[in-house]
Amino acid sequence: MIPAQFDYVAPSTVEEAVNALVEAGEDAKVLAGGQSLLPVLRMRLNVPSVVVDLCRIESLRGVRDDGDALVIGAMTTHSDVFHDPLVREHATLLTKAVEQLADPQVRHRGTFGGALAHADPAGDLGAPALALGASFVIAGSGGTRTVEADDFFEDLFTTAVQDGEILTEVRIPKYTGWGAHYEKFVRVAHQWPIVAVAAAVRVDGGTIAEARVGLTNMGSTPLRARAVESALVGQSATDEAVRGAAASAAEGTNPPSDLNGDADFRRHLATVLTRRAVLAAAGA
Amino acid sequence: MTVTEDRPAGKEIGSPRKRKEDQRLITGRTKFTDNIQLPGMLHLAMVRSPFAHATITNIDTAEAKAAPNVVMVLTGADVADEQGALPCAWPISEDQKAQPHPSIAVDRVAFAGEIVAVVVARSAAAARDAAELVDVDYDELPAALDLKEAAEDTVLAHPDLGTNKSAFWQFDSAGAGTGSAIDDAIRDAEILIEREYRQQRLIPAFMEPRSFAVDPTGEQITMWSATQVPHILKLMLALTLGIPESKLRVIAPDVGGGFGGKLQVTPEEVITLLAARRTGKPCKYTETRSESLMAAHHGRDQWQKLTLAAKADGTVTGLKVDLIANMGAYLGLVTPGVPILGAFMFNGIYKFPAYQFNCTNVFTNMTWTDAYRGAGRPEATYAIERMMDQLALELDMDPVEIREKNWIKHEEFPFTTVCGLEYDSGNYEAATARAKEMFGYDELRAEQKRRRESNDPVQLGIGVSTFTEMCGLAPSRVLGSLNYGAGGWEHASVRMLPSGKVEVVTGTSPHGQGHVTAWSQIAADRLGVPFEDIEVLHGDTQVSHKGLDTYGSRSLVVGGSAVVAAADKVIERAKPIAAHLLEASVNDIEFKDGRFSVAGTDKGMAIGELALASFSAHNLPDGVEPGLDADATFDPANFSFPHGTHLCALEVDTETGGVKMRKYVAVDDVGNIVNPLLVEGQVHGGLVQGIAQALWEEAVHDSSGTLVSASFVDYLVPTAADTISFDTDRTVTPSTSNPLGTKGVGEAGTIASTPCVVNAVVDALKPFGVIDVQMPCTPERIWKAIHDRGAGGADPTEGEAMPHFDEKDVADRSEGGAQ
Ligand SMILES: Cc1cc2nc3c(=O)[nH]c(=O)nc-3n(C[C@H](O)[C@H](O)[C@H](O)COP(=O)(O)OP(=O)(O)OC[C@H]3O[C@@H](n4cnc5c(N)ncnc54)[C@H](O)[C@@H]3O)c2cc1C
């Protein structure tokens, strides 16, 4: 299908991009990898007057080491995140999540920042980013600000990024030596998760010392399973112990009902997948 | 009647030739309809109804007409007098009811996606933009959406018809004299099993969206169409629009898949032609994927009620079938006949003495259904193969054993079934033995036992399906007896060119099957010319003037046989010329490997030399016409009956309801094989498509009749990542109804695999007392079946899609900015 007509700009700096957005007002749209935006445009669900393409802004691409954190540029593709050795070493959870995201074509075009800014509750990156306590750097006409993960996801398809702003990079604290697993439940391989669970754990002598657990598609935003996290601490990494802690995974969630399953089924899945994710992360 | 000849196997037939046509098809450097650009070409965009059932109260086209580059806007009222009604070629009963099917709705829409207006513009983008400006007012009407409710006439899909029931069709073995009375069998049954199965609605989902281009300049109006049926389309367009058939030329250039979905005469074809005729300019329309999913015909969609009578030892004594078949809003080309194609197949490979089939065709306010890979026969095979498993369960017998007890033994062929069909050949024992051996049946049963005993959260299910089908459509007389509008013959020409090259013209219309390769192999062997020297021409009614196209696994069986017959005629035409030039008697001329020689001598001529001699015509015998070309038409006396045994092992994760396939074995008998690679391609693709019905695909509508699974995000067509590598093999019992001894293979995999997989799923859940899971067997349904202890998990699917590309995105974002 053919999108409605729009103006197109492809600036080469963040500043120019912000200016272009501010100038166009609320009718402007940021284009990253286009994997979510292009279908929206082609189905004419959105008819922006201007599309501001970030593809020429080199500074938004790549992963860098910044002391106790990694910084992932918003325009880094899923495929580049997957292959990045820094990510693999210090934020394995992301490696595991992007590995299962969509299909190779989408992974080569879609971007880390685009996926997070899109904030699809079924997106695979929100829960890991939340679990890892990422912070989001947002550029606007007044300069840049940083938003913590807990405040970034506001609602279905809604984040702290406002009109006239661009998500430029995401800072992820290092979790060197942690075990991680992303347990994604789908019917076909190229699908968004029906439910997924992101788990990172630090195991010390067979006991879970720290745990971070994020839930995908269990509400209108990614969720932290804090009850599970605290129940896990101090437990041995065994099926029985983890099963008990995982039983509370669905507490306080509000999962959707759709073609792939109703809310009850999702609540049930969350407990099973949480147990599996934590056990796999703990290497048990 | 046996017409199979005892010919030594040729060099080409049986060889796994790679497909000649793939280079261009895969790279796209070829003519697909959408690639066609003609000078001054105009482009169409459709305005479609968002409502399942509504009266059109007003259409305002003024703004659209005034939009840049718009040439014309058409509504139903504009073309009401010339558009005619789209054809249905298969009225199944004399009193069949049907609503005339306009290409553009005039005052009422009957399904969501029906066309209400058409914009013709100088570019596709301009047409699309202006389509947004057409303002249509609707008064919504109550819609008939639920099939069972529709059968009760609760809400009428077409109020003027006064009922939703289009037709009733019955086959009764006692009435037909082909068997005994079903009521007696049911009365005397020692075991009686009643079940109800749902054949969900499917979408053919071919790779190339439908595309049509029409050039009205010149004496003949030319239509390019991404169709499976250029010949039928030409005739039907002529009849629908009152254009003399001789003034029409239809070309199906390269076509990217169909699966029955392009066996249709579509509103879009008629509209493109009307637009071209009105504007006097070439016009083109290519649908979007969303339009394709919504408004190209759907498939399956039946409720099946089955009553099986048996003796306590497992011998089946009768089967009664009560079907409700969803026609959707209109009757397409063969819509009413699709369930009837299954009527003769519910008895499968078995020897039931009594059988009755009752089918009620019902209208609803949904996209119309029509042929989809297997058409009628997958539904029938599903029903009987699920029922045989139920019988095995009831008697605590092995499901293979129960089948063996009832099937036709190989020494009983030819066998006349309870439906009156004569199965000419087959060997179910051999196929089953081979399949069990490849599968490791006993070991897998042992593993299943272990998992059951240890309450393993991952249970193993083993499914079996033994199937046959009637295909190679078909004997013209049989089609006639079923009221089908056309015959089932096929035509071929072999043109011997002066340079020794050969053109084979076929009336079949390949759209991915590989006919070009297979027909080349047949002609190469028959004529003794190199494979590479043969060109196969198809799809253009000016070149291939006679044909009945491609569907129903008919092309090789019927069309390939016509190639054999035409090639043989070429040789017969060449013999007197060879005799004349070699100064011998015709009776002494022998033909072998492309050479005509005089018996007992070393004198001879190559077929290419004869082609040149007959072309130059300098020295022909008296009364012999120049040229060696020959035509032939083949009409088989019977269907072909491929069969096979499929076995599937899969793991069901009882904690999530997830299914993981472990092993799939398919041993098919498709008679003699022209090209084993092509057979593999058909079998593997067919398996995936059938497995998709079992596990993944379903067209879901919400309570207002909007298609919810309206993109590939929600209509789950599997990819290679979702399937395993299948283990395939074949047994060979040649068909006796065609000279090649082949049987159709195009639908086999699809027909056999669906029940095989569902049987495996249900088998895995046996420890939980589950006896059925409705298709597609989603994790949610499986999980609920486990927890509801056998309730079947048949709760209606929630009518919502995941909103990945939702408008919400837009709204929330702009609101966010204002906060
Ligand atoms: C077939 C298919 C399957 C998919 N499957 C999955 C899946 O399984 N899991 C999954 O997580 N995702 C999946 N996706 C989505 C994929 O991850 C997308 O790449 C992602 O959601 C959007 O990233 P993008 O770079 O393509 O962004 P775009 O599509 O370009 O943009 C998406 C939205 O974010 C905004 N945006 C983008 N970048 C910025 C920025 N830097 N600052 C501010 N706003 C911005 C845009 O304006 C737009 O509204 C799938 C997509 C497709 C097409």
Confidence check: pLDDT of B6 > 60:
no
Q: Whose CA is nearest to atom 2 of ligand 1?
A: A102
Q: pLDDT, tens digit, for every residue of A57-67?
A: 999 999 999 99
Of B128, B779, B812, which is closest to A158 when you measure between CB atoms? B812
pLDDT at residue B817, as a whole number: 30
The answer to whether B813 faces chain A, any CB pair under 8 Å, is yes
What mean pLDDT is predicted for residues B467-474? Answer: 90
Average confidence (pLDDT) over B674-680? 97
Q: Which residue puts its alpha carbon closest to atom 51 of ligand 1?
A: A35
> Does B814 have pLDDT greater than 80?
no
Please give the model's pTM, rounded to 2 decimal places.
0.96
The answer, for A187 touching chain B at a CB cutoff of 8 Å, is yes
Position A1 scores a pLDDT of 78
ipTM, 2 dp: 0.96
Set out the domains of chain A in order of their start, with CATH numbers.
7-53 (3.30.43.10), 58-173 (3.30.465.10), 179-281 (3.30.390.50)
In which band, very low, low, confident or very high, does the pLDDT at B425 lie, cut at 50, 70 and 90?
very high
Residue B349: which of B373, B326, B390, B380 has the closest Cα? Answer: B380
Strand partners, B195: B306
Q: Which DSSP symbol is given to B485?
A: S
State whether residue B239 is helix, strand or coil.
helix
3-state SS class at B693: helix
Nearest-angstrom CA–CA distance, B796 and B698 = 12
Is residue A17 within 8 A of residue A54, CB to CB? The reply is: yes
Cα B663 to the center of its chain, rounded Å = 26
Average pLDDT, integer, range B449-470: 97
Rg (C-alpha) for chain A, rounded Å, is 19
Task: Tell me what the pLDDT averaged over chain B comes to.
Answer: 94
How many angstroms separate the CA of residue A214 from the nearest CA in chain B? 19
Task: Let me know if residue B577 belongs to a domain.
Answer: yes
Can you tell me the mean pLDDT for A13-34? 96
The token pair at B817 is: 């900015």
- pLDDT, residue B609, reads 97
For B99-116, the pLDDT digits (tens) are: 999 999 999 999 999 999
Residue B517 in any domain: the answer is yes
Between the alpha carbon of residue B765 and those of residues B152, B182, B459, B464, B691, the distances in Å are: 34, 32, 7, 15, 18
What 3-state class would DSSP assign to B391? helix
How far is the C-alpha of A246 from the C-alpha of A279, rounded, in Å? 10
B471: which DSSP letter? B
Q: Is B562 part of any domain? A: yes
Spell out a b/e string for B717-738, using b for 16 or more CB atoms within 10 Å of the CB, else e.
bbeeebbeebebebbebbbbbb
Residue B472: per-residue pLDDT: 87
Closest Cα of chain A to B225: distance in Å?
19
Q: Is B228 a residue whose pLDDT tops 90?
A: yes
Indicate if the pLDDT at residue B812 is higher than 80: no
Closest Cα in chain A to B779? A187
Beta-carbon separation of B804 and A190 below 8 A: no
Best mutation target, A258, A262, A266, A268, to test chain B (most B CBs within 10 A): A258
Q: What is the pLDDT, as a whole number, of residue B804?
A: 72
- Per the CB < 8 A criterion, the answer to whether B319 and B346 are in contact is yes
pLDDT of residue B10: 67
pLDDT of B166 > 60? The answer is yes
Query: For the residues A28-36, what does the mean pLDDT come to?
Result: 97
DSSP string, B751-817: HHHHHHHHHHHHHHTGGGT----PSS--HHHHHHHHHTTSSTT-PPPPS----TT-THHHHHHHHHH
Quickly list H helices, B475-514.
476-481
Residue B818 lies in a domain: no
For residues B141 and B109, the answer to whether their CB atoms sit within 8 Å is no
User: Is the CB of residue B457 less than 8 Å away from at least one CB of chain A?
Assistant: no
For residues B367 and B264, what is the distance between their CA atoms, to the nearest angstrom?
13
Ligand 1 mean position to A255 CA, how many Å? 21
SS3 B190: coil
Q: Are B429 and B614 in contact (CB under 8 A)?
A: no
* Residue B520 is assigned to a structural domain of this protein: yes
**Phi then psi for B49, rounded to 5 degrees?**
-70, 130
Q: Mean pLDDT across the stretch B198-222?
A: 97
Pocket of ligand 1 (CB under 6 A): A 29-37, 54, 74, 101-102, 106, 110-111, 113-115, 117-118, 120, 123-125, 161, 166-167, 190, 192
CB contact under 8 A, B290 and A1: yes
Return the ligand 1 atom nearest residue A38 CA.
29
3-class SS at B462? strand
Element (H, E) at B255: none
The pLDDT assigned to B815 comes to 33
Asked if A122 is an interface residue toward chain B (Cβ–Cβ < 8 A), one would say yes
pLDDT tens column, B528-577: 999 999 999 999 999 999 999 999 999 999 999 999 999 999 999 999 99
pLDDT tens sequence across B24-42: 999 989 999 999 999 999 9
Contact by Cβ (8 Å): B403, B316: no
Residue B799's pLDDT is: 52
Pick among A162, A187, A279 to test the B interface (most B CBs inside 10 A): A187
Whole-angstrom Cα distance, residue B33 to residue B227? 10
Q: What are the CA-CA distances from residue B107 to residues B104, B110, B139, B271, B363 (Å)?
A: 10, 10, 11, 17, 19
Which residue of chain B comes nearest to A165, CA vs CA? B817
Rounded CA Rg of chain B:
28
Distance CA B292, CA B48 (A): 12
**Structure-token match 């001699």, residue found:** B613
Average pLDDT over residues B38-53: 98
Q: How far is A240 from chain B (nearest CA, A)?
A: 15
Close Cβ partners of A186 (under 8 Å, ≥ 6 residues apart): A192, A193, A194
Sign of the alpha-carbon torsion through B85, B483, B370, B285:
negative
> How many helices and strands, by DSSP H and E, does chain A display?
12, 14
User: Residue B596: inside a domain, yes or no?
Assistant: yes
- Asked if residue B263 is part of any domain, the answer here is no
Q: Do B656 and A39 touch (CB under 8 A)?
A: no
Q: B84: which residues sit within 8 A by CB, 6+ positions away? A: B240, B241, B242, B270
Q: Is residue B570 a part of any domain in this protein? A: yes
Distance in Å, CA A34 to ligand 1 centroid: 6
Is the distance from CB of B338 to CB of B166 less than 8 angstroms? Answer: no
What is d(CA B172, CA B121) in angstroms, rounded to the nearest whole number? 55
Question: What's the pLDDT at A209?
Answer: 98
Chain A with chain B: Cβ pairs closer than 8 A = 122
Whether A176 and chain B come into contact, CB under 8 Å, resolves to no
Report chain B's terminal Cα–Cα distance, integer Å: 82
- Distance of residue A71 Cα from the nearest chain B Cα, in angstroms: 26
Distance CA B326, CA B148 (A): 9
Q: Minimal Cα–Cα distance from A171 to chain B, Å?
A: 23
Tokens 């065609």, located at residue:
B738
Angle at B29 (CA atoms; ends B26, B32), nearest 5 degrees: 85
Taking only the tens place, the pLDDT of each residue in A228-252 is 999 999 999 999 999 999 999 999 9
When pLDDT is cut at 50, 70 and 90, the band that residue B474 belongs to is confident
Above 60 in pLDDT, residue B772?
yes
Q: Which chain A residue has the Cα nearest residue B46?
A: A1
Do B283 and B42 form a contact (C-beta atoms < 8 A)? yes
B682-686: long-range contacts at Cβ-Cβ below 8 A with a sequence spacing of 24 or more? B682/B513, B682/B745, B682/B746, B682/B748, B682/B749, B683/B726, B683/B728, B683/B745, B683/B748, B683/B749, B684/B726, B684/B728, B684/B749, B685/B749, B686/B373, B686/B745, B686/B746, B686/B747, B686/B748, B686/B749, B686/B750, B686/B751, B686/B753
**Separation of alpha carbons A15 and B634, rounded Å:** 74
Phi-psi region at B671: left, alpha or beta (left = phi > 0; alpha = psi -120 to 50): left
Cis? peptide before B776, omega within 30° of 0: yes
The count of domains in chain B is 1
pLDDT bin (cut points 50, 70, 90) of residue B3 is: very low
Top-confidence residue, B595 or A190: B595
Q: pLDDT by residue (tens digit) across B379-405? A: 999 999 999 999 999 999 999 999 999
* Alpha-carbon gap, residue A201 to B305, rounded angstroms: 53
Overall average pLDDT of the B238-255 stretch: 97
Q: Which of B669, B760, B178 is nearest to B469 (CA)?
A: B669
B783-809: pLDDT as tens digits? 999 988 554 544 444 456 666 764 444
Nearest CA to ligand 1 atom 52: A35
Candidates A153, A141, A158, A119; CA nearest to A25 is A141
Predicted local confidence at residue B810, as pLDDT: 39
Instruction: Please give the share of chain B, as a percent, with pLDDT higher than 90.
Output: 94
Whole domain around residue B615: which residue ranges? 22-29+489-634
Residue B484 has pLDDT above 80, yes or no: yes
Q: Is the dihedral of CA B771, B773, B777, B779 positive or negative?
A: negative
Gap between the Cα atoms of B199 and A265, Å rounded: 24
The CATH number for B513's domain is 3.30.365.10
pLDDT at B811 > cutoff 60: no
Distance CA(B650)–CA(B648), nearest Å, equals 6
Task: Report whether pLDDT(B813) > 60.
Answer: no
Q: Partners of B724 in the beta sheet?
A: none
Which residue, by CA, sits nearest to atom 28 of ligand 1? A34
Asked if A120 reaches chain B (Cβ–Cβ under 8 Å), the answer is yes
Q: Is B601 on the interface with A (CB under 8 A)?
A: no
Helix B428-439 with B399-406: angle, nearest 10 deg: 170
Determine how many CB atoms are found less than 10 A away from the CB of residue B372: 28
Q: Do A265 and B129 touch (CB under 8 A)?
A: no
